[in-house]
Every structure is written in structure tokens, then in C-alpha cells.
Structure 1
Amino acid sequence: MKLFRHIMLGAAVLLAQVSSASAADVKLPVVASFSILGDIVANVGGDRIAVTTLVGPDQDAHVFQPAPDHIKSVARAKLVVINGLGFEGWMERVVQSANYRGDIVVASNGIAVRDRVSDEHDANDGHDHDHHHGKNDPHAWQNPANIVVYTRNIVAALSKLDPAGASVYQKNGDTYIAKLNELDRWATQQFAQFPDAKRKVITSHDAFEYFGAHYQVKFLAPQGVSTDSEPSAKEVANLIRQIRKEKIRAVFIENMSSPKLLQQISKEAGVALGGKLYADALSQADGPAPTYLKLMRYNIEQLLAQMKLN
């Protein structure tokens, strides 16, 4: 009888250990709207969450078309994290189709929102350059100081959803913020080496307003804030004249944009195309920008290299 009790007690302890381990292995399903945001969420959540990204690496959120698998991912999620500022114009119908009733975290809440700034090449030509974003520029992640705010919002949301992991999320968030601040200090020092006249860049579309304002770099683009726009012939001609007049040599395509337009512009303006910049999406895992921190450092190094040629 005593042996039987020992066996039963041992079995109960083993079962409790297995159940505890199984509970610990269950990760919170979290959906992030696009690849850059997914990486930030993963840094905060660590091993306690499983992140699904709707718009993946090298994909364009501006023209994203949700598929049934995306709807299923949202339906299973315990938390959905979006950028906000009109970036995910398709998210409302995804949430409705998934019958999602959980929290939706707007990561950009609390940042200093910038309006899209029109340059002389896109003013008063009768075209709508705001597209579906309205006046707000949604590309706030291009300033690492804004990602500090994103990170804190994500820490708060995950801690609310999973109080048992709050200390882990806070620690992960603090570690990530330290890396963001280190990146920002380095970038500021690098750009400080160049006079304003050399801090001029041509890109595919207006995705770098936050970056430009933060680091005092002037970005010009033939497209508006959305890649689903087409610039007018007048815009393109004005931009070519500006490149020639200001002797701009930093001309870049973006990872999810067609290079044809900038190839035409660079040819007619007599300047060579620089490297590729990552604006709205990470690269694939084997590319140069598989994480947000690597994306920013890669972009900055590309810009610095081209500015040295000016």
C-alpha cells in the first residue's frame, strides 16, 4: 500500500511538471501589420510570444491585398499591433473579416506626428499627393527616437495581456531601447561630418521625412508617400532640373519599388544610381536588412557613402 502511494505521488508530481512545462511552451499569438513592426514586437516579446507578420519582407504595405491565411492569423491572435497614421488602410476590413475582438495596439501613439511635406516638384500640379494617408506621414519608424515610443507602447500592451511576463517585457524593452539610442548617437555623429549642401538625397517615394527631419537630410522623391501613386511628367521634369541645379549625387531606389522611374531620372539628370534603401520593409533573412536595427544602419551607411562622392 505504501509502495502504491509512492507511485501515485510520483506520477502526480511528474504530471504537474509536464503540465507546467506545456503551459510555459504555449506562446501568445501576436500579429504585427508589417515586417519592420514585427521585428520590434519580437524584440519586446522574446520567447513568450509568437509573432505573425501580415506584410512580409520586401513586400509593399501600400498595395497589400489580404489573403485568407492573413484573416486566419488575425482570428487566432491575442493581440494585433499596427503602425497607425493611416499606413494600414486595409486593416479594418481584415479585423472585421476575422471577427477579431481583442486589443489593437497603435504603436505610433504618442509620437510627434509629421505632416507630409510637399517640395517644389510636386506642388500645385492638380494631383492628389496625399493618397490614402491623408496629411499625416505614416513612416515614423524612420526616426529611431520614435521607435523608443513604439517599444514602450508594445511593452505596456504585452504586460497588460500577460501580467506574468511583465518583468520580462520591461527588461527586453529596456535592452532594445538602449540599442536604439546607441544607433541614434552613432548616426547623428556620422551625419554631422557633412555640410547641409551634401545632405540631399533622391529616393523612390516620400518615406524618409522623419529621417530627414531628425538627421537634417533633405529627401526628394518623384512619388508621394504611397507607392501606388504615379508622378506626373511635370513632377519628373522639375525633379530632374532640381538634381542638375543642386548637383545632387545621392540617388537611391527602394527595396519594394520598381527601379524604372529612378533609372530614367538618373539617366536624364546625368547621375548614377546609388545603392538600394530599405524604406517600408525588411529584407529577407539573408539580405542586408533583416532587422530594424540592421536596416537603419545599412541605410545610413549607404547614404554616407554616396554623400562622400558629392
Structure 2
Amino acid sequence: MSALSLVTAAVLSVGVLAGCARTVAGENTAITEDPRPLVLTTFTVLADMARNVAGEHLLVESITKVGAEIHGYEPTPGDLRTAEQAELILDNGLGLESWFEKFVERVSAPHAVVSDGVEPVYIRADAYAGKSNPHAWMSPKVAEVYVDNIASAFEDLDPLHAEDYRANAESYKAQLREVGDRLRADLDTLPPNERAVVSCEGAFSYLARDFDLQEAYLWPVNAEQEGTPKQVVSTIDFVRDNDVPAVFCESTVSDKAQRQVAEDTGARFGGTLFVDSLSEEGGPVPTYLDLLTYDARTITDALLGTRR
């Protein structure tokens, strides 16, 4: 058994894993008719990571859909019915999914926390001061920890294919390193006074730590208090004091307050960044690797005042 525990149930036998297709009336046909063991994740970014590790052996689906607000998500009865068919659920941890603890208590599937072992960045201010910032996947360096944890969970779930999961994980981590190298090369084109990411949500703390950037944000974690006058004034002060040329907002929240910051400071509104959700298949970030690349280029292009 690996160090990563499956915390709500014992590992299922290989015989069960090879069982019949699920039959859940009214649910996703792709899920109910696929005979592979079902693994659920709490959001789309984790699902993409997990699919890269699973290969052909497991069916991986996300509970929340593209564009969903994942922090305060309200699970549906259909989500619970689908979860009852799962062999494993992967969650981020670090306080990201405020809804997940009650959700997982209502289903029998084991779950694994993919951020286990991550060195957290702590939120500095606001009501969340002192708590771990949950957005650890936004650094490709930290994402390697996620991938190792996913592989360990899959090995425990399905020992028969353990070698495949480990090989897939190593291959995917190599891709993460390549993306990280390109990301650093992009960010290194920025002069010192422009090495700052100013976003709506404080989702870039791990990226800022690992790639030597300054960070400021309107609010630390998506919640009820978003874009308050105090938050806007504080962000305006940071942009003015540091002569930051561009500000950004994330795809799953309103950019109204950040556009106000841009207007009041003369900074550009640099565009929409993707954090909590991938895009649809035909969109700009259908995969996690696309997300990292897209965000890095959006940030550098806006701060430099260019478009590629």
C-alpha cells in the first residue's frame, strides 16, 4: 500500500474492477455504458491530469463541469448517483472544495487527496489569512506532486496495471517540465517592474513563488465577498505603487471589479485567465497543459503590451 491512503474504504479487488457496466437511469450514457472502473474528480483540471495517468484502463470524469464555480459548488442528486458508481474520487484538498466533505460522506467510494505532500503557500490577508492557498496546481512544479499522488491512488485501486500508471505519470511529468521551461522563458522576458500578476482571485501564489513573480489580487478565494470597495482600493494602490501595466481576471468569475481597477489606474485589462476550469474541447484550454501555456502567454503579452 502506498503512503497515499484511500480514506473511506478498502481497496477493491481486481475481480470487482473487471465487473460489468454501470446502470444508472437517466445519467450520462458514456458513464453508464463504459465497463471500465469509474474515477471521479472534483473539477475538470484534475480530470485531465488523471486521464493522462489512467491511459486506457480507467474512465475518468469530473463532477463539476466546464466553467463551474468549484469552491462553493452545490452537488446535484445526479452527482450523488454517479458517485455511487465510482471506484475512486480524487479531490484537491487544501480547503478548495468547501462542499466535498459532506458530499463524500454520502457515498461509499474511497477518495484520495491529490495535494498531499505539497508545501502550502499561506494566504496573507482577508478572512482567509493563515489558511493554505488551495490553487497549488497552478505551478507545473507542484503539479508533479499531484501526478505522483494520482498514480499512487491508481496503483492502489488497480495493482494489475500499476506499471502502466507509473510509466504514464513519468511521461506526463516530463511534459509538465517542458511546459514549465517554456513558461519560465516567457516570464523571463519581463523587466523587473513588470513581473507581477494582478488577478481577481488569489490563484497564482504557487506560480508566483516558483517563478519569482509578485502577486496581488482582489480576493484570496472565490467566496461571498468578491470585489468589495476595500479590495478594489487595495488592488488599485498596489498597481499604482508598482507601476503594473496590466491586470487580469479568471474565467469563472465576473471581471467587473478588475476592469474598474484598470480604469482607475490606467493599466490595461490584460485578459481572461483560466484557473478553476478548463474550456470546452474547441476552446483555448481544453487540457491542463494548454491552460498553463495560455495563461503564461496571456500574462506576458499583456504586461509587455504585445500580442502573439
TM-score (norm 1): 0.84
Q: Name the counterpart of 1:128.
A: 127
SS at match of 1:55: coil
Q: Does residue 241 of structure 1 match 2:237?
A: yes
Q: Does the aligned pair in 2 maintain the 1:159–1:166 contact within 8 Å?
A: yes
Structure 1 gap ranges (5+): 1-19, 119-126
AA partner of residue 49 (structure 2): I
Using the TM superposition, give the Cα deviation of residue 298 of structure 1 relative to its aligned residue in structure 2, in angstroms. Answer: 0.3
Q: Does the aligned pair in 1 maintain the 2:71–2:99 contact within 8 Å?
A: no
AA partner of residue 166 (structure 2): Q
Q: Name the counterpart of 1:13.
A: none
Q: Does the aligned pair in 2 maintain the 1:63–1:228 contact within 8 Å?
A: no
Q: Name the counterpart of 2:85.
A: 76
Distance 1:230 1:302 in 2: 23
SS at match of 2:270: coil
SS at match of 1:203: strand
Q: Does residue 174 of structure 1 match 2:174?
A: no
Q: Does the aligned pair in 2 maintain the 1:62–1:226 contact within 8 Å?
A: yes
Q: Which has the larger radius of gyration?
A: 1
Q: Does residue 111 of structure 1 match 2:107?
A: no
Structure 2 gap ranges (5+): 1-17, 22-33
Q: Name the counterpart of 2:152.
A: 156
Aligned counterpart in structure 1 of residue 142 of structure 2, from 146, 149, 169: 146
Write the mapping of 1:7-46 to structure 2, written as runs, cut at 5 A.
Answer: 26-46=35-55
TM-score (norm 2): 0.84
Using the TM superposition, give the Cα deviation of residue 231 of structure 1 relative to its aligned residue in structure 2, in angstroms. Answer: 4.1
Distance 2:238 2:172 in 1: 40
Q: Name the counterpart of 1:267.
A: 263
Q: Does the aligned pair in 1 maintain the 2:270–2:303 contact within 8 Å?
A: no
Q: Does the aligned pair in 2 maintain the 1:227–1:257 contact within 8 Å?
A: no
Q: Does the aligned pair in 2 maintain the 1:204–1:222 contact within 8 Å?
A: yes
AA partner of residue 40 (structure 2): V
Distance 2:234 2:147 in 1: 40
RMSD: 2.0
Distance 1:281 1:297 in 2: 14
AA partner of residue 74 (structure 2): Q
Q: Name the counterpart of 1:305.
A: 301
AA partner of residue 114 (structure 2): A
Q: Does residue 232 of structure 1 match 2:231?
A: no
The ranges of structure 1 where at least 4 consecutive aligned residues each deviate by more than 6 angstroms after the TM superposition are none
Using the TM superposition, give the Cα deviation of residue 278 of structure 1 relative to its aligned residue in structure 2, in angstroms. Answer: 0.4
Distance 1:238 1:139 in 2: 22
Distance 1:164 1:238 in 2: 54
Q: Judging changes above 3 Å, is the alpha-carbon distance between structure 1 residues 272 and 190 closer, same or farther for their aligned structure 2 residues?
A: closer
Aligned residues: 277
AA partner of residue 61 (structure 1): I
AA partner of residue 277 (structure 2): A
Q: Name the counterpart of 1:63.
A: 72
Q: Name the counterpart of 1:279.
A: 275
Q: Does the aligned pair in 2 maintain the 1:116–1:225 contact within 8 Å?
A: no
Q: Does the aligned pair in 1 maintain the 2:72–2:99 contact within 8 Å?
A: no
Using the TM superposition, give the Cα deviation of residue 140 of structure 1 relative to its aligned residue in structure 2, in angstroms. Answer: 0.3
Distance 1:47 1:258 in 2: 38
Q: Name the counterpart of 1:197.
A: 193
Q: Does the aligned pair in 1 maintain the 2:202–2:219 contact within 8 Å?
A: yes
Distance 1:216 1:227 in 2: 27
Distance 1:221 1:31 in 2: 31
AA partner of residue 297 (structure 2): E
Percent sequence identity over aligned pairs: 30
AA partner of residue 301 (structure 2): A
Moved more, 183-192 or 234-243: 234-243
Q: Does the aligned pair in 2 maintain the 1:32–1:54 contact within 8 Å?
A: yes
Distance 1:135 1:229 in 2: 16
AA partner of residue 38 (structure 2): P
Distance 1:271 1:146 in 2: 30
